[in-house]
């Protein structure tokens, strides 16, 4: 499927001068983080074969390395152990699609960072060959293999690449039209309104043009739907969506891609990951999380595949 207008490229945010300081509202110091929860512990012990007594130190060491690469809130808040995909309403159906040997269904985790949701899918029975991670920063993919200790066993495709890359020989171009389910967690909120449209158009171009194609995930949101300073140490702006503004965004994306999408989006108040909830400067900013599941409903007439 193709968009009808040329798509401008997007500059990806870089940390501004000040670098990777921990003095930001979204960094929770090690000593204020609780022990990893039972879901994560189970994965580290049974999948990664890390002795239980070493799990907490292993996780903190990898978080420290990740923070040096780029100080994202998902790292500072330890939300990379939330396994957010598994909490989505469609998760059981996603598992059934990806485990069905008669279907070619593939899932892409865009901006996968450590790739934790891909590992959870494998633990829940999905053949890793069905899974693709796309990540701008190759060091995050490497750290994912360190964190989950599965460099040899994970057989999914882990692509170091830029979603916005339009060169025909890029590894991203090779994915065009091949993805059934795209997971975008803490990804769209890196961008402003126009950039989010641009990102989603590129993402839709990677999807198979079939009813039932599914884009889902979560990102920072707000009940009013507004542009705010980006949740990174950079000078960029992000659009924090309400369900209404997110639906309006996808009307534009549907028009641009000549595809039809039904948007289910809702806000939740994020739980704090800090033992000292009263000191969590991040939550007190009134930040919300927007969750979304977006299904392609039908194929419009005169569209290319």
Ligand X SMILES: C[S@@+](CC[C@H](N)C(=O)[O-])C[C@H]1O[C@@H](n2cnc3c(N)ncnc32)[C@H](O)[C@@H]1O
CB of 64 to ligand X, least distance (A): 16
- Between 87 and 281, name the residue whose CB sits nearer to ligand X: 87
CB of 110 to ligand X, least distance (A): 6
Tokens encoding 233: 């140490």
Q: Which of 3, 163, 181, 201 binds ligand X (CB under 6 A)?
A: 163
Stretch that binds ligand X, among 44-52, 99-107, 110-118, 296-304 (CB under 6 A): 110-118
Displacement of CA 131 from its chain's centroid (Å): 14
78 binding ligand X? (CB under 6 A): no
- Between 47 and 299, name the residue whose CB sits nearer to ligand X: 47
Please give the radius of gyration of the chain, using alpha carbons only, rounded to the nearest integer: 19
Q: Which of 124, 137, 142, 226 binds ligand X (CB under 6 A)?
A: 137
Q: What size, in residues, is the chain?
A: 305
User: Exposed (0-12), middle (13-18) or buried (19+): which is 152, by Cβ within 10 Å?
Assistant: exposed
74 binding ligand X? (CB under 6 A): yes
**Helix axis angle, 55-69 relative to 138-148, nearest 10°?**
180
36 binding ligand X? (CB under 6 A): no
- Between 191 and 261, name the residue whose CB sits nearer to ligand X: 191
Q: Cα 36–42–46 angle (5° rounding)? A: 135
186 binding ligand X? (CB under 6 A): yes
Stretch that binds ligand X, among 95-103, 125-133, 160-168, 233-241 (CB under 6 A): 160-168
112 binding ligand X? (CB under 6 A): yes
Tokens encoding 286: 């009134």
Q: Which of 50, 78, 88, 135 binds ligand X (CB under 6 A)?
A: 135
Footprint of ligand X on residues 222-281 (CB under 6 A)?
none
Nearest to 54 by CA among 29, 26, 35, 31: 35
Residue nearest to ligand X (CB): 111
Q: Which of 44, 72, 188, 240 binds ligand X (CB under 6 A)?
A: 72
Stretch that binds ligand X, among 87-95, 97-105, 133-141, 273-281 (CB under 6 A): 133-141
Q: Which residues form the interface with ligand X (CB under 6 A)?
A: 12, 72, 74, 79-80, 111-113, 134-137, 140, 162-164, 185-187, 190
């Amino acid at each position: 499927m193709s968009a009808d207008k040329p798509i401008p490229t997007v500059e990806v945010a870089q940390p501004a001068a000040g670098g990777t300081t921990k003095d930001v509202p979204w960094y929770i110091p090690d000593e204020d983080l609780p022990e990893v929860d039972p879901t994560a512990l189970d994965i580290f012990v049974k999948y990664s074969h890390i002795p239980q007594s070493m799990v907490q130190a292993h996780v903190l060491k990898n978080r420290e390395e990740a923070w040096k690469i780029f100080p994202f809130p998902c790292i500072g808040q330890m939300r990379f152990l939330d396994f957010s995909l598994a909490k989505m309403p469609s998760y059981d159906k996603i598992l059934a699609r990806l485990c069905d040997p008669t279907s070619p269904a593939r899932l892409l985790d865009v901006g996968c960072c450590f790739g934790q949701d891909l590992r959870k899918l494998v633990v829940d029975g999905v053949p890793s060959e069905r899974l693709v991670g796309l990540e701008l920063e190759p060091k995050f993919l490497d750290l994912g293999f360190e964190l989950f200790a599965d460099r040899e066993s994970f057989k999914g495709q882990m692509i170091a690449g830029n979603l916005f890359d339009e060169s025909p020989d890029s590894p991203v171009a090779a994915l065009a039209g091949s993805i059934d389910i795209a997971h975008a967690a803490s990804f769209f909120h890196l961008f402003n309104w126009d950039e989010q449209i641009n990102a989603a158009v590129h993402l839709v171009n990677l999807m198979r043009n079939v009813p039932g194609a599914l884009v889902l995930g979560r990102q920072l949101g707000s009940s009013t739907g507004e542009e705010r300073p980006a949740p990174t140490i950079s000078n960029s702006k992000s659009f924090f969506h309400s369900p209404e503004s997110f639906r309006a965004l996808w009307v534009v994306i549907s028009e641009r891609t000549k595809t039809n999408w039904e948007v289910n989006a809702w806000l939740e108040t994020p739980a704090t990951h800090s033992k000292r909830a009263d000191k969590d400067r991040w939550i007190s900013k009134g930040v919300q999380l927007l969750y979304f599941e977006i299904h392609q409903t039908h194929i419009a007439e005169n569209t290319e595949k």
